[in-house]
A and B are shown apart, each in its own frame.
Chain A
Amino acid sequence: MPIILWTDALVFLLVACAIGAGFYVNRREYLLASWRRVGESRAGMASLTVLAAFIAVGLLDSLHYRPRLDDVPGRTTANGYGSEVRSALDALLQPLRSGTEKTYSAPLATHLYAKETVELPDGSQTRVFPRLQHGGAHLENPEQDWGKDVAARTVQGLALAVLAALTFSAIVVQAAALRWGLGWQATWRRIWRGETQFAWNAVLAALAVLMLLAGPVISLAGGYHVFGTDKVGQDVLYLTLKSIRTGLVIGTITTLSMLPFAVALGIVAGYRGGWIDDLIQYLYTTLNSIPSVLLIAASVLMVQVAIDTHPDWFATAAQRADARLLALCLILGVTSWTGLCRLLRAETLKLRELEYVQAAQAFGASASRIMGRHILPNVMHIVLIAVVMDFSGLVLAEAVLSYIGIGVDPSTISFGTMINTARLELAREPVVWWSLIAAFAFMFVLVLAANLFSDAVRDAFDPRVAGRRVAAVAQEKAA
């Protein structure tokens, strides 16, 4: 039975908006020009490729359903469906999800990380590292075969990755060759040397690196816990992949939820002026003056009290956790719209005095029409830059907030909850480092890609940067 959680609905709404915006931009040359500049940026396109991989995982993880229970006698629920909510990603990663061990095990290990007392056949007891139930379970003799098996699987994964990367590159080159009417080799050379408008070489290189990393991991994950297991024996790779969706949801839904307020209030305040302006300014100064962590803490505590005192609102634990995630997004949105609102107000104040707005006024266009048709399109670049710049900060904020205890529900898998549960593991003897490192590494790659992409977008859309570029070109020509 498919289930659409609140955040799922918003994620798909966002995807629909993005596709719609894509069509809108595609038909307008002046908007397309800026996006072409984004496409020229190698760092931007490489990071976009990485982001796309993350987004694909996140979208797969947003297709939720409740699995039908097999007709086991004695296990009946109200409607024949389990109360556990799963996603398409869970189904894909079924072996990882269900392959839990007893407790910690190191990456690619065949034995548990803690000694256990085992009874020998002769009745005596001894303390050994027991074999894992899933990691390396296929090996007859782990001491001998482990190295060979890992190497074989890595090579196999790498070979598949190279094959996949080459196939994809070939498809791209073939398509480009047909389009440009060039020979295969000439096309390849053009792409490789970066002589194309769109930074195809960056995309292909990033994709190849991604595949070379993912290939061995996928191939090894069939027999081992590639990143080890955590305290309760869950596969760390599975946890990190599940965390991606939470990070993406917080980074995007938060901005989505605050955009309407920030845009509408900012433009109205700037265009109308007078007491409306005073009121809106008062509103955002007040909100701004509360330190955001404390405002978030206060709001999250309140939401938590509301959720905890009304357990009857939610059918499943996943829905409750989802409600808390959504609430967190909305709260973060409430605390973060003020900056964008102030920017838009200032820009509208400037635009309001320009001739084309005065012309519209002279034609008798209504205020709402001027704001919607004339001012809004001309401040959209600020909105876009704010959206992409906010994303990485929000992903980082989630981890901190979850650590403080005012982030997502503890049952929601996220980078923050992973770090929070793993933070004492470095103090253990021997040290358990893999879950912390895995969480930090994935978060780092996601945030770095987002930062690089947002830089590319800002460089392409910010008129101040664009002005500098024009000046530079003029200087070059003069020289």
Chain B
Amino acid sequence: MLAYIIRRLLYAIPILIGVNLLTFTLFFVVNTPDDMARMQLGIKRVTPEAIQKWKAERGYDKPLLYNGTAEGAGKITRTIFFEKSVKLFVFDFGRADDGRDIGHEIRMRMGPSLAIAVPAFILGLFVTISFALLLAFFRATYLDFWGVVMCVAMMSISSLFYIIGGQYLVSKVWHLVPISGYAGGLDAGRFLLLPVLISVVAGIGSSTRWYRTIFLEEIGKDYVRTARAKGLSEMAVLFRHVLKNAMIPILTGAVVVIPLLFMGSLLIESFFGIPGLGSYTIDAINAQDFAVVRSMVFIGSVLYIAGLLLTDLSYTLVDPRVRLQ
């Protein structure tokens, strides 16, 4: 087991190097720092001195890969690639364009992001699995049919509609919760209720339908027929046999996103003014703050790889047939 984990962690290294090279190419080779400076300072009426100053302030004035003017190891380390990309590996993100430390900002914003993402994830999983079980229990009846119709309709609605509509109805018309904002401590509940609810509702359609398919596939299998032949009630069959076995494909989809919960939700956070990582990313995209976007890309891929590893480990927990070597 331990050997497996270590080997998987070693596999992650080339992937992270690949991610790093890709972002480096995107941000520094396809468009040179000069282009970025011109973009930031305005296309017209920009002097070469202003560009030089902009680049020097942010440390973009060094050569890309090899610094011939530096001494010794500085030939490699005093380059954009080393300072901006390699340092990501030790989670040294540098500073954003507004001069703030990105690492500090990320630590500050993680809390609010998790405060929405974790309850939304757990509640969403619970609600969709319950609905799917319900539909599977009443399979091939009108309830099942209209349930599926509802699911297809719900997954055809844009997530923006859920957010805008929910905000309008609950906050503006009914005045139940504040429209947007965030506060620490116990006060946060008021602000979190609606975003959590909306993210759960927005996910119901597609997840319920997907889980229902999984349940129905399991229900058709022979061991279920055996369980029924033993005289077990339909409820017992559903909960003790079908649900357990269906957890394997459900886990594949669910566990992989757990680490990504840290990243928060771009849309929800920006609509509700939650100071989390999602709104941080959106702000960075809108302000074209490449240092922040690059850091978030790197963190995102680290978390994704962690999610894959967690998925594999969770298999051993729910499926005794799986052995990791």
Supposing A291-B304, A302-B27 touch, asked if A448 and B39 sit within 8 A by C-beta, the answer is no
* Residue B64 at the chain A interface, CB threshold 8 Å: no
Supposing A282-B18, A290-B297, A436-B164 touch, asked if A404 and B35 sit within 8 A by C-beta, the answer is no
Interface positions, chain B 132-161, Cβ under 8 Å from A, are: 152-153, 155-161
Write out, one digit per residue, whether chain A residues 18-41 have a CB within 8 A of any chain B CB (1) or not (0): 000000000000000000000000
Supposing A286-B18, A403-B160 touch, asked if A298 and B297 sit within 8 A by C-beta, the answer is yes
Interface positions, chain B 17-41, Cβ under 8 Å from A, are: 18-19, 22-23, 26-27, 30-31, 35-36, 38-39
Main secondary structure of the interface of B (DSSP, over half): helix
Supposing A305-B39, A309-B38, A406-B285 touch, asked if A419 and B19 sit within 8 A by C-beta, the answer is no
For B267, what are the chain A residues with a Cβ–Cβ distance below 8 Å? Answer: 400, 403-404
Supposing A291-B263, A291-B304, A293-B266 touch, asked if A444 and B156 sit within 8 A by C-beta, the answer is yes
* Residue B246 at the chain A interface, CB threshold 8 Å: no
| Complex-state Cα separation, A399 to B164, whole angstroms | 13
Q: Is the CB of A286 within 8 A of B19?
A: yes
Supposing A392-B156, A452-B152 touch, asked if A306 and B26 sit within 8 A by C-beta, the answer is no
Name the distance in Å between B308's Cβ and chain A's nearest Cβ: 8
For B288, what are the chain A residues with a Cβ–Cβ distance below 8 Å? Answer: 301, 305
For A443, what are the chain B residues with a Cβ–Cβ distance below 8 Å? Answer: 158
Supposing A404-B282, A426-B168, A427-B172 touch, asked if A290 and B301 sit within 8 A by C-beta, the answer is yes
For B27, what are the chain A residues with a Cβ–Cβ distance below 8 Å? Answer: 298, 302
* Residue A95 at the chain B interface, CB threshold 8 Å: no
Closest A residue by C-beta to B155:
A451
Name the distance in Å between B262's Cβ and chain A's nearest Cβ: 11
| Complex-state Cα separation, A323 to B161, whole angstroms | 28
For B156, what are the chain A residues with a Cβ–Cβ distance below 8 Å? Answer: 392, 444, 447-448, 451
Closest B residue by C-beta to A283:
B18
Supposing A305-B39, A440-B161 touch, asked if A294 and B297 sit within 8 A by C-beta, the answer is yes
| Complex-state Cα separation, A451 to B155, whole angstroms | 9
| Complex-state Cα separation, A28 to B48, whole angstroms | 65
| Complex-state Cα separation, A403 to B190, whole angstroms | 26
Q: How many residues in A have their beta carbons less than 8 Å from beta carbons of B?
A: 44
* Residue A285 at the chain B interface, CB threshold 8 Å: yes
Q: Is the CB of A419 within 8 A of B152?
A: no
Q: Is the CB of B285 within 8 A of A301?
A: yes
Q: Is the CB of A290 within 8 A of B35?
A: no
Q: Is the CB of B39 within 8 A of A298?
A: no
Q: Is the CB of A291 within 8 A of B39?
A: no
| Complex-state Cα separation, A282 to B22, whole angstroms | 13
Name the distance in Å between A317's Cβ and chain B's nearest Cβ: 15
Supposing A399-B158, A448-B152 touch, asked if A297 and B285 sit within 8 A by C-beta, the answer is yes
Q: Is the CB of A290 within 8 A of B159?
A: no
Contacting residue for B158 out of A286, A440, A455, CB 8 A = A440
Contacting residue for B281 out of A290, A294, A451, CB 8 A = A294
| Complex-state Cα separation, A396 to B304, whole angstroms | 23
* Residue A272 at the chain B interface, CB threshold 8 Å: no
Closest A residue by C-beta to B305:
A289
Q: Is the CB of B304 within 8 A of A302?
A: no
Q: Is the CB of B172 within 8 A of A426?
A: yes
For B260, what are the chain A residues with a Cβ–Cβ distance below 8 Å? Answer: 291
Contacting residue for B160 out of A295, A299, A399, CB 8 A = A399
Main secondary structure of the interface of A (DSSP, over half): helix
Name the distance in Å between A449's Cβ and chain B's nearest Cβ: 9
* Residue B300 at the chain A interface, CB threshold 8 Å: yes
| Complex-state Cα separation, A255 to B229, whole angstroms | 47
Contacting residue for B15 out of A285, A400, A448, CB 8 A = A285
* Residue B258 at the chain A interface, CB threshold 8 Å: no
| Complex-state Cα separation, A306 to B27, whole angstroms | 11
Closest B residue by C-beta to A406:
B285
Q: Is the CB of A305 within 8 A of B36?
A: yes
Q: Is the CB of A290 within 8 A of B300?
A: yes
Closest B residue by C-beta to A286:
B18
Supposing A305-B39, A448-B152 touch, asked if A291 and B172 sit within 8 A by C-beta, the answer is no
| Complex-state Cα separation, A403 to B288, whole angstroms | 15
Q: Is the CB of A309 within 8 A of B43?
A: yes
Name the distance in Å between B325's Cβ and chain A's nearest Cβ: 19
* Residue A288 at the chain B interface, CB threshold 8 Å: yes
| Complex-state Cα separation, A286 to B26, whole angstroms | 14
Q: Is the CB of B301 within 8 A of A448?
A: no
* Residue B293 at the chain A interface, CB threshold 8 Å: yes
Write out, one digit per residue, whether chain B residues 239-275 have a CB within 8 A of any chain A CB (1) or not (0): 0000000000000000000001001001100100000
Write out, one digit per residue, whether chain B residues 86-106 have a CB within 8 A of any chain A CB (1) or not (0): 000000000000000000000
3 shortest interchain CB distances as A-B pairs:
A286-B18, A291-B300, A448-B156
Seed contacts A297-B285, A302-B27; 16 additional CB < 8 Å A-B pairs:
A282-B15, A289-B304, A290-B22, A291-B263, A291-B297, A294-B293, A294-B300, A297-B281, A298-B293, A299-B26, A301-B285, A306-B31, A392-B156, A426-B167, A426-B168, A448-B153
Q: Supply 15 A–B pairs (Cβ within 8 Å), ascending by A.
A: A285-B15, A286-B22, A290-B19, A291-B304, A294-B297, A305-B39, A305-B288, A404-B267, A404-B286, A405-B285, A406-B285, A427-B172, A444-B156, A451-B152, A451-B155
Interface residues of B (CB under 8 A from A): 14-15, 18-19, 22-23, 26-27, 30-31, 35-36, 38-39, 43, 152-153, 155-161, 164, 167-168, 172, 220, 260, 263, 266-267, 270, 281-282, 285-286, 288, 290, 293-294, 296-297, 300-301, 304-305
